Amino acid sequence: MLNHQYGQWGVPEFMSDPKFQEYVFRQGYEPALQLHWQQIRDQFPEQVSVMQEAEEMLKAFRQQALTTDPEGEWLVWQEVKKVLDVPTAVKRRILRRPALAAAWIGLALLIGGWLCWHILSHQQAAIVTTADEKGAFKLVKLPDSSQVMLGANSDIRYQPSWNRKGPREVWLNGDAHFEVKHLNKEPQRVTEREKFLVHVNDVEIEVLGTVFNVWNRNGKTEVELESGKVKLRMKDTGKEMILRPGEVATISGRELELNEEKSDLVLQGPAHDKLYELNNTSVAEIIKMIAGTYGKKVVVEDTALLSRRIDGVLPLCHEKDLLFALSGILDIRVRQTDALTWVFSTAE
């Protein structure tokens, strides 16, 4: 027999009921809950509109909170619950007086809305997101004067000002060349504020003062150290690796491995005017880089071209500079057939 208390409930009771909250937020995952509340609707058809209103209000709170972060969602919901968690006897007295009930619900909405606005505005002000222009590289100067050459189709997030007590932290999506400002004076005693952390997928890169490259494409990450020292740590397994100058680490899934060979393609820093250095690099490797960096498909009409190898540099300020340089170095004709496809053919 279903509980007849549901027939007396108003919007606040449904909103504050844990079982109803679970039903609203886990629709499609708990068949038993779906059946339970459908039976309630069938037994108390006059309550359908009340339940619908409670569901919409809960989803509104949830949606506002989800636009921030998990912590923001929790804070909003805790404050709303303070209003909703009124003793049942008190709520019933309120519900018998429509004006008070409306005011009470309005107060809950006001609190939830204000908290969402407060958290949203604070969160948006606390994060700087810098992305490259389409197909171009971008130089980013961080709050501590460290410099980042951001690769094409990449972005980096960081706090606009860094806590003097906590580590310097950035979140990278894509490729970047880092020149990190050195703060530590005593190598045997490193404080939190002297650390520089780069978060890439499931990897944390810990730095002091270092020059290094990060490649992050298609779920695979490569870290190449030019100078200094970095420590890599897998967030899920805790596995760590120390890199020394000239070494390259590859992270794929849960695997962290040290490569024996140095990467052919090196993303140069600001002083090198945004260049890729080619060290006996095959055209096949360059095409792979183009696909990953610019999101382009490259069609090679003469497959013999793929095995050719090149030394030198390629300018990457813009994709047109790259195409011009390649056509001259390889003595080929490069044409664009559509927005995403380039064709390499023998020059006529």
Boundary-marking domain end, from 125, 143, 177: 125
Domain holding 89, by residue range, is 4-125
Backbone angles phi, psi at 199, to 5 degrees: -105, 120
Asked whether the predicted pLDDT for residue 222 surpasses 70, the reply is yes
Which tens digits make up the pLDDT trace of 277-297? 777 888 888 888 777 777 788
Which tens digits make up the pLDDT trace of 15-25? 878 788 878 87
- Which ranges in 127-235 belong to alpha helices (H)? none
Asked whether the predicted pLDDT for residue 194 surpasses 70, the reply is yes
Residue from 316, 333, 237 nearest 278 by CA? 316
Q: How many structural domains does the chain have? A: 3
What's the Cα-to-Cα distance from 229 to each of 169, 225, 242, 274, rounded to whole Å? 17, 7, 7, 23
Beta-bridge partner residues of 250:
222, 257
CATH label of the domain that carries residue 137 = 2.60.120.1440
Does residue 306 sit within a domain? yes
Q: Residues 145, 219: one domain? A: yes
- How would residue 115 be classed by pLDDT, with cut points 50, 70 and 90? very low
Instruction: Give the per-residue pLDDT at 137.
Output: 62
What's the Cα-to-Cα distance from 203 to each of 196, 206, 239, 260, rounded to whole Å? 14, 10, 10, 20
Cα–chain-centroid distance for residue 187? 32
Q: Tell me what percent of the residues of the chain surpass a pLDDT of 70.
A: 64
Which tens digits make up the pLDDT trace of 154-177? 788 888 888 777 889 999 988 788
> Residues 232-250: what's their mean pLDDT?
86
Q: Residues 181, 241: one domain? A: yes
- How would residue 91 be classed by pLDDT, with cut points 50, 70 and 90? very low
Boundary-marking domain end, from 259, 290, 305: 259
Amino acid, single-letter form, for residue 311: D
Measure CA of the first residue to CA of the last residue in the chain; give whole Å.
86
CATH label of the domain that carries residue 287 = 3.55.50.30
Asked whether the predicted pLDDT for residue 198 surpasses 90, the reply is yes
**Residue with the larger pLDDT of the pair 27 and 235:** 235
Does residue 73 sit within a domain? yes
> In terms of C-beta density within 10 A (0-12 exposed, 13-18 middle, 19 or more buried), how is residue 288 classed?
middle
Q: Residues 137, 221: one domain? A: yes
Q: Residue 185 contacts by C-beta under 8 Å, 6 or more apart in sequence?
A: none
* CA gap 238, 255 in Å, rounded: 11
Strand, helix or coil for residue 298: strand
Q: Residues 34, 106: one domain? A: yes
Q: What is the pTM of this model?
A: 0.47
